[in-house]
Structure 1
Amino acid sequence: MKKISAKISLFILIGIIISACNTEKRVPEGKTRLVKNKIIVNDKVTSEENAYNQLYQKPNSTFVLGYPLRLNLYNLANLNPDSTYLAKFKNHPGLYERQSKFLSAKQVDRLGKSFLYHGIHEFLKKVGEPPAIIDTSKTVKSVTRLKYYYFNKGYFDVTTSYKLDTIKNKKAKISYLIDTKKPYLLDSLKTTISTPVLDSLYKTQVSNSLIKSGMQYKTADFDEEKNRIATHFRNNGAYYFQPTYVSFNIDTINKVNKANVNLIINDYTYQNKDSTTTEPFKLYKISDVNIYTDYVTNKSNQVFKDSVTYKNFNLYSQEKLKYKPYAIADAIFITKGSEYADFKTVLTTRYLNNLKIFNYPSIQYEVDKRDSTASSLIAKIYLTPRKKYSFGAFFDITHSNIQDIGISLSPSITVRNVFNGAETLELSGRANIGSSKDLANPNNQFFNVSEYGADLKLNIPRIFLPFSTERIIPKSMIPSTLMSLGLARQTNIGLDKENFTGAVSYNWNPKKNNTARFDLFNAQFVRNLNPNNYFNVYGSSYDALNAVGKTYNTINDYFDNTTDKNLIIQSGTTGFTNAVLNNSTGLTSTDDDYQSVKSIEERRVRLTENDFILATSFTYTKTTKKDLQDKTFYLFKTKIESAGSLLSLIADATNQSVNANGNREIFNLEYSEYIKTEFDYIKHWDLTKEKVLAIRSFFGIAIPFGNSDNIPFSRSYFSGGSNDNRAWQPYSLGPGRSGAVNDFNEANMKIALSAEFRFKILGDFKGALFVDGGNIWNVLDNVTDEKSTFNGFKSLKDIAVGSGIGLRYDLNFLVVRFDFGFKTYDPANETGKKWFRDYNFGNSVLNFGINYPF
């Protein structure tokens, strides 16, 4: 099978190479294929992408080193496979009858539509690209378009032409020649605004104008200025104003490369029956805000039987009102007596949609006929409730740092408006089975990981506190409160665990594209169900302890047999460790083996003890990303977390006694106490032509104090994996230059740096070149190993570097990612052997991921 696959691959490769020798095989006689466009501006070749985007014809796309892969794939295709198939029988009389006897006539006809005869050629035509035949009419249109492009940039005297250079073998290049002359600059600026109130409004923000004297003329600036003026007016009561009412008179008469600008805004014009009426613009105020809480879009003449007025908001319902008035009123920014403002409509729509109890709201305005001046508006807000109960089920196949593959099912039920205050209650369950080759698996089962649990979440669309926070966090920031409880149980996954969580979080948006989250408390209780399985899970710790035991253990009951002398898990490992620490084996505290056993025992105790964490944290995120298509943006995220401090304050106030270890307890369990902070920065640059440069930097540190001298495993850092340093497996890098001696290596400080160049390969296939750097270290905790600890700037030489290549397939809604990481600089290797020692495919790490790593 392998030989057949190799032959097929070789055949395809040879076919492409042969085809490459004649890229013009589909170019008709008398025609030429465009191989290059060149735009020459004032005798200099430009690389401005926007200029090349004006051209109607572009050369065939290329792959690596200018190779026209898609063109050659197209050339491999038979453009008329049906005719070729029929011609085969015409040229060989009797062939059709013979095949019909063997297959049947229907099957022979169907064979012509098979992938071998028909489908492969359709596939090649689809993924391929026909030759770019030069069309003179399109070239002329491109010249005209370039002229307008530069004219709109202020070059009013621009001249354009083109030159066609024919190359042998039906190829040609087109050079577009642009002579811009001198640009026109804006000279005097004046305004002619017919409506006095608009003239006054304009003057309040004239300093924000995008058009200023001395600037080079650009049509885009004038279009943006129209939108700026319209936005300003509509946010200050001018309900009927639109950008089309703004015009500019550009005067260049008797001017040398200068233009006078007159901004003109005429009065409001509208159709009144059969005539056109013109009158000054009015600034409108809101006279009433009517909210229809159970509007049905496909029904007319709806009768609203219940109504209530709350803080000048009129709420109507066809049946008994199901919402507490404040719950709806808090989401409305359009208020009675205020000026009409577009931004209030947008903010109200956003807030109402964020409640998740209504379909997308509809907000309409009509002139209040009760107002004799006709300058008042009635705001009508139509809300269509979603179903009170909704059920869902989520099925997923995942890959993570722990599981090579996981299959999960998560059913859920959502209850909306559960307490009539627009709250949302969600109850969900989850079940997962998975496979991990890194975990202890004595029965050699494929699915050796399982987890199940349940979560309860209550979302309240306001800050839920006994006092008002409006002055600190106004409702324009769309605040919300999330209360959650969770229970999860892992089995067949090492030590097995029960995980209880509870949290109260406050979320709001201080500014556009900024988010803030304050966790009043986030509690976690981790209970290890199978601590005696420790040495089965952490095999490297067992190997190290067993090596010492073979030398110093004198009690045969601790061995599985007297020949191999392997320590028995659990009785032998526990017995020998106690013997060493009690000085019963001849080892003393100054011996390296004694310190090794002590270190192994300290790690075992830390990773098998139950943890209770009560933390408070604040997270702030800022980004300039506008949407999913934005390729030039940055994201900054920072977090600070404090755990155990509140419990210590209570213990101090109540004079709580300490245990034998000198620490305080809650529920007979030592609680964790630490402070943790993180900084994460991501930046993307659009390099044009579907090329993107992305970088990421991360720094995190968690410092134990008071009741703790180490950080719980669940709050520690690890390095390696598909979203980190991709040249190492998860948990297999660090700490420092220690060489990852443990099975799951973690520490309390982390530095991560990554850079990635992304580019298009073919269609939806994308490629990447990347470099990752970083490591983890122990700092200010109970680890003393110099190789693992951070000792100032000199420890930065322990930053590991990985580099590699990636292949991605873009499905629009997600990206499937494969990355090959190569160890470029390994700090664990001895001096002189740190660079490029394992830089080959045999030692590479293949990472599978969903979506981009950053």
Structure 2
Amino acid sequence: MNGSFGVTCNWAKIGLLLLLLSILGCNTLKKVGEDELLLTKNTILINDEKVTDSEVKGLISQKPNSSVLGYPLKLNLYNLAKENPDSSFQDWLHKKEKREKRLNNLLSQKQVNRLSESFLIKGYSEFLKRIGEPPVIIDTSETNKSLSKLKSYYNTKGYFNNTGAYEIVNGKRKKRAQIEYNITLNSPYIVDTIQKNITSPELDSIYDQANRQSFVKQGEQFDLEKFTMERERLTTLFRNSGVYNFQESSINYTILRDTTIASDDQLMDVQLNIKKFRSTNDSTDTNMPYKVARHKQINIYADYDINGATDTLKSVQHENYNIYYSGKLRYRPKALTDAIFFEKDSIYRDLDRIRTYRQITNLNTFKYPNIDFVPDSTQTKLETNIYLAAKPKYSLNLNFDVTHSNIQQVGTAFSASVITRNVFGGAETLNVSARGSIGLLSDASLSDETFTSELGGDINITFPRIWLPFSTERIIPYYMLPQSRLSVGTNFQRNIGLDKQSLNSILSYNWSPTTRLKNNIELLNVEFVRNVNTNNFYNVYRNTFSNLDEIADDFQDDPEYSSYFEPIQEEGEDPRLSIPTGANNFVRNVLNDSIPVSPEDKELVNSIEERRIRLTENNLIFATNFTHTKNSKSGINDLDFYQYRIKLESAGGMLSLLTNVIPFNKNPNGQNLVFSVPYSQYVKTEFDYIRHWSIGGGQVIAFRSFSGLAIPYGNSDNVPFVRSYFAGGSNDNRAWNAYELGPGSTDNINDFNEANLKLAMNLEYRFPIAGDVKGALFADAGNIWNVFDNETNPEAVFSGFSSLGDIALGTGLGLRYDFTYFVFRLDVGFKTYNPAKVGSNRWFDGYSFKQAVFNIGINYPF
């Protein structure tokens, strides 16, 4: 009965949806005139073959209305707007004082209501027009422009004799049509000989040495894009070969035949022209041949003041660099010269100029530098001046946040940091920060107190070089922006979980071989975590306690175990194990067989006790890791790019090597102890890949995949909680809350579920809705499992390809608002495939807004 009712309800919903879409479909042609045609599609045929190239399709001037999964949302929103709102509203809108007088003295209430209604209709109509799109009506003048663009484009590819036409094809439905563009290319022109006319002998010599790298080659089809690329290549070549003032405008090409005359001969000769340098500094233009210049002297003006005099400055020379300063030189000379890539008597290279700008900016001590090149009368010697203006010695940053979590109803967080620049005279940066928060506890049973609190601080110092006893400049030169970071931090939590205290220290090195590649080595990452309030375990991990208390229900009426239970406060209430004494005693007696339970219950109690010990024990992690990242994104507006991150980490390995040298103390489990704490030992690897495809009109397909595995060994049989994986949350599988999904096919058995293997994939379709409002449809898949550790529950353990059936699938939709500097995000996720269910119940169980998971986030999840 219930099943048939559910099916009936689903068919009713589907029917209602189809009816709604039908009504809106009729609305599509609302503002299309009788003699007009709505453009539904553009097709481009080149030599009778359909073209899908986005660059070619982008040449079309008139494009169909945008759609979301084939539905013209913006067009239908525009059509909902009223065509001609009440004209009397114009006086109401533009003559405020007169309108108010009329309303107060002359108009009846009915007239006021009518004008108010007109106001609402007008505002609503303007809003719909603003966020919508007017119908794209086929305009033959625009079609002819598109055809001309297509022909011109193929002219640039060497098809100078191409021909074209277009055809308007009426659609099957009324007042709809598509346009079909047909281009016939004919035979292309081929570059035959390449002549050169280079006015500067020095440029001619440089060109001949690098001629093999030319993009324009004899025997290849003419392509204007290659000529453009060649101009850019030559400009870069000359500027990196001593010609500091070379101008790209000095390069042009001449085609040595008339391509408008038809001929069987499709060969064409081209001539490369490189003119003289043209200067307009004087009243009369002067032209001179380009020459190779060298750095005659290099001057560094430290603490430069644009309004200050330079003739009274003191100077010091360091490795052929002249450093000018006033008062006392605040920087070690080597710290300044290491950031300069020009060398005395060397030829000028534009690459050195770019690297100098990057490295000086990377020091975080100076404002953006100014570099000036002053040539002598022969144009072959340069006086190179580098002007450095210091940033303030100190700066203060303050932050205040309001927070909410599953532990805090509401909280306030405050942080402050003081940045000190050039601490030791070598452009080092010292950052001292402190943070604190206080919040109202969400559940009074978690603690005897009402409020939570957290206090922490960090000291971070950055060196603009690799800080090691030996030089690494040959392997990691300064143009790779090397940095060394040393940080020490601590944090204290109260009434948050088990009241953790942590201490961490990191020594890391990072450098960027190119603008797209980044490397980071954490040579030493030490973290000590101490759980202060371990007796609060069963208050925090409620699901774990519920499972234990359910087993204890069989013994609640036995007087022998009455001391394990809390006194009953209300009549009819079931006794509950007391925390922590009763729960701990019950577990101990079950495991030593003093309390008889079934083998299944004993196994569950043993699992609970192992988890309690793991999550309440202190952790000491000595780790080393390496991270390599590549990002092909060329700018903030680049919507078509990829990014990947590879991370390798090893913990406890160095300490393990010392076991034969240092006699470590051991605990009863045989684990080596450091400061009375067993150190963690594991290896970990991660791979994260992101790919974005731009599909036009601001629409993007975004994909992410992640895989991570941490394997404990030696001194550990599990991975520390702080280094394990979890699933769910606003940046993961959005149909589950954080820590709620997995491991494997288990059904949220713990309050904070985690494991040491994770697989995840995300696919998201992003599209514009109106202005800064964006939309998204997404599908998130993945899960976590235990592997190679001490977990015994088969449902939580990854056992091969069969475990891939435990991959959860969440789907949903989202809204985003772009504030330019950040994006506010709201996502709604539905459990589409839940591996914790059985059989067919795994699919679409609880697929409703009532059981959906709502996520709020800042910026895109990937």
**TM-score of the aligned structures, taking structure 1 as reference length:** 0.88
Matched residues in 2 for 1:83 and 1:685: separation? 49
Match of 1:574 in 2: 584
Alpha-carbon deviation of 1:237?
A: 0.4
**Per-residue Cα deviation, 1:574-631 (whole angstroms, up to 9, x for no partner):** 11122222332235xx822222212111111111112121211111112222222222
Match of 1:678 in 2: 686
User: Is this contact kept in 2: 1:732–1:740, CA < 8 A?
Assistant: yes
Match of 1:456 in 2: 459
Match of 2:575 in 1: 565
User: Is this contact kept in 1: 2:787–2:797, CA < 8 A?
Assistant: yes
Match of 1:408 in 2: 413
Match of 1:10 in 2: none
Are residues 134 and 552 of structure 1, via their aligned partners in 2, closer, same or farther at CA, if it must alter by over 3 Å?
closer
Match of 1:531 in 2: 534
Match of 2:3 in 1: none
Say whether residues 1:756 and 2:773 are aligned partners: no
Pairing 1:598-747 to 2, within 5 Å after superposition: 598-747=606-755
Alpha-carbon deviation of 1:482?
A: 1.0
Q: Structure 1 residues 817-826 or 510-519, which shifts more?
A: 817-826
Are residues 274 and 177 of structure 1, via their aligned partners in 2, closer, same or farther at CA, if it must alter by over 3 Å?
same
Matched residues in 2 for 1:653 and 1:128: separation? 74
Say whether residues 1:190 and 2:190 are aligned partners: no
Are residues 804 and 213 of structure 1, via their aligned partners in 2, closer, same or farther at CA, if it must alter by over 3 Å?
farther
1:585 is aligned, of 595, 598, 609, to 595
Matched residues in 2 for 1:436 and 1:803: separation? 33
Q: Structure 1 residues 126-135 or 770-779, which shifts more?
A: 126-135
Pairing 1:18-33 to 2, within 5 Å after superposition: none
Q: Structure 1 residues 23-32 or 387-396, which shifts more?
A: 23-32
Are residues 715 and 75 of structure 1, via their aligned partners in 2, closer, same or farther at CA, if it must alter by over 3 Å?
closer
Aligned residue for 2:795, secondary structure, equals coil
User: Is this contact kept in 1: 2:82–2:121, CA < 8 A?
Assistant: no
Say whether residues 1:67 and 2:79 are aligned partners: no
1:425 alignment partner AA: L
Aligned residue for 2:425, secondary structure, equals coil
Matched residues in 1 for 2:444 and 2:127: separation? 44
Match of 1:355 in 2: 363
1:387 alignment partner AA: P
Alpha-carbon deviation of 1:772?
A: 2.2
Say whether residues 1:290 and 2:299 are aligned partners: yes
Pairing 1:95-174 to 2, within 5 Å after superposition: 99-101=103-105, 116=120, 118-132=122-136, 138-162=142-166
1:361 alignment partner AA: P
**Per-residue Cα deviation, 1:796-833 (whole angstroms, up to 9, x for no partner):** 23222223333333333222223332323332223454
Give the fraction of aligned pairs with identical amino acids, expressed as a percent: 44
Match of 2:550 in 1: 547
Matched residues in 1 for 2:38 and 2:795: separation? 63
Match of 2:562 in 1: 556
User: Is this contact kept in 1: 2:641–2:693, CA < 8 A?
Assistant: yes
Matched residues in 1 for 2:442 and 2:189: separation? 69
User: Is this contact kept in 2: 1:357–1:416, CA < 8 A?
Assistant: yes
Are residues 75 and 271 of structure 1, via their aligned partners in 2, closer, same or farther at CA, if it must alter by over 3 Å?
same
Are residues 364 and 83 of structure 1, via their aligned partners in 2, closer, same or farther at CA, if it must alter by over 3 Å?
farther
Instruction: Count how many residue pairs are aligned between Structure 1 and Structure 2.
Output: 830
**Per-residue Cα deviation, 1:30-51 (whole angstroms, up to 9, x for no partner):** 8776665554544555444333
Q: Structure 1 residues 469-478 or 358-367, which shifts more?
A: 469-478
**Per-residue Cα deviation, 1:141-193 (whole angstroms, up to 9, x for no partner):** 44433332221222211234555678999877655453333322323333333
Q: Structure 1 residues 773-782 or 64-73, which shifts more?
A: 64-73
Alpha-carbon deviation of 1:109?
A: 13
Structure 1 unmatched runs, 5+: 1-12
Match of 2:218 in 1: 213
User: Is this contact kept in 2: 1:85–1:117, CA < 8 A?
Assistant: no
**Per-residue Cα deviation, 1:297-349 (whole angstroms, up to 9, x for no partner):** 3x264445222111111111133211111111111111112110111100100
User: Is this contact kept in 1: 2:433–2:459, CA < 8 A?
Assistant: yes
Q: Structure 1 residues 45-54 or 733-742, which shifts more?
A: 45-54
Aligned residue for 2:666, secondary structure, equals coil
User: Is this contact kept in 2: 1:237–1:285, CA < 8 A?
Assistant: yes
User: Is this contact kept in 2: 1:735–1:789, CA < 8 A?
Assistant: yes
Matched residues in 2 for 1:268 and 1:536: separation? 80
**Per-residue Cα deviation, 1:743-784 (whole angstroms, up to 9, x for no partner):** 111111111122223333343333333332222111221212
**Per-residue Cα deviation, 1:395-417 (whole angstroms, up to 9, x for no partner):** 34567898797653322221111
Pairing 1:259-298 to 2, within 5 Å after superposition: 259-270=268-279, 277-297=286-306
Say whether residues 1:338 and 2:343 are aligned partners: no
**Per-residue Cα deviation, 1:79-127 (whole angstroms, up to 9, x for no partner):** 676643549999xxx999773149999x989987996365434433322
1:392 alignment partner AA: N
User: Is this contact kept in 1: 2:74–2:131, CA < 8 A?
Assistant: no
Are residues 89 and 193 of structure 1, via their aligned partners in 2, closer, same or farther at CA, if it must alter by over 3 Å?
closer
Are residues 403 and 344 of structure 1, via their aligned partners in 2, closer, same or farther at CA, if it must alter by over 3 Å?
farther
1:508 alignment partner AA: W
Alpha-carbon deviation of 1:18?
A: 8.4
Matched residues in 2 for 1:95 and 1:639: separation? 69
Say whether residues 1:484 and 2:492 are aligned partners: no
Match of 1:314 in 2: 322
Q: Structure 1 residues 650-659 or 829-838, which shifts more?
A: 829-838
Alpha-carbon deviation of 1:657?
A: 3.3
1:581 alignment partner AA: L
Matched residues in 2 for 1:770 and 1:382: separation? 51
Matched residues in 1 for 2:444 and 2:694: separation? 42
Matched residues in 2 for 1:19 and 1:717: separation? 46
RMSD of aligned residue pairs (Cα, Å): 3.7
Are residues 540 and 102 of structure 1, via their aligned partners in 2, closer, same or farther at CA, if it must alter by over 3 Å?
farther
Pairing 1:697-846 to 2, within 5 Å after superposition: 697-846=705-854
**TM-score of the aligned structures, taking structure 2 as reference length:** 0.87
1:467 is aligned, of 457, 466, 470, to 470
Matched residues in 1 for 2:536 and 2:107: separation? 63
Match of 1:5 in 2: none
**Per-residue Cα deviation, 1:710-757 (whole angstroms, up to 9, x for no partner):** 111101111111211222221112112222311111111111122223
Alpha-carbon deviation of 1:676?
A: 1.4
Are residues 48 and 455 of structure 1, via their aligned partners in 2, closer, same or farther at CA, if it must alter by over 3 Å?
same
Aligned residue for 1:555, secondary structure, equals helix
Q: Structure 1 residues 265-274 or 838-847, which shifts more?
A: 265-274
Are residues 27 and 771 of structure 1, via their aligned partners in 2, closer, same or farther at CA, if it must alter by over 3 Å?
closer
Are residues 126 and 339 of structure 1, via their aligned partners in 2, closer, same or farther at CA, if it must alter by over 3 Å?
same
Matched residues in 2 for 1:172 and 1:219: separation? 34
User: Is this contact kept in 2: 1:552–1:585, CA < 8 A?
Assistant: no
2:228 is aligned, of 205, 210, 223, to 223
Aligned residue for 2:183, secondary structure, equals strand
Q: Structure 1 residues 738-747 or 484-493, which shifts more?
A: 484-493
Matched residues in 1 for 2:509 and 2:406: separation? 29
Match of 1:522 in 2: 525
Alpha-carbon deviation of 1:568?
A: 0.6
2:674 alignment partner AA: I
Matched residues in 1 for 2:242 and 2:99: separation? 83
Matched residues in 1 for 2:58 and 2:476: separation? 46
Alpha-carbon deviation of 1:462?
A: 0.8
User: Is this contact kept in 2: 1:639–1:679, CA < 8 A?
Assistant: yes
Structure 2 unmatched runs, 5+: 1-17
Pairing 1:385-404 to 2, within 5 Å after superposition: 385-396=390-401
Match of 1:8 in 2: none
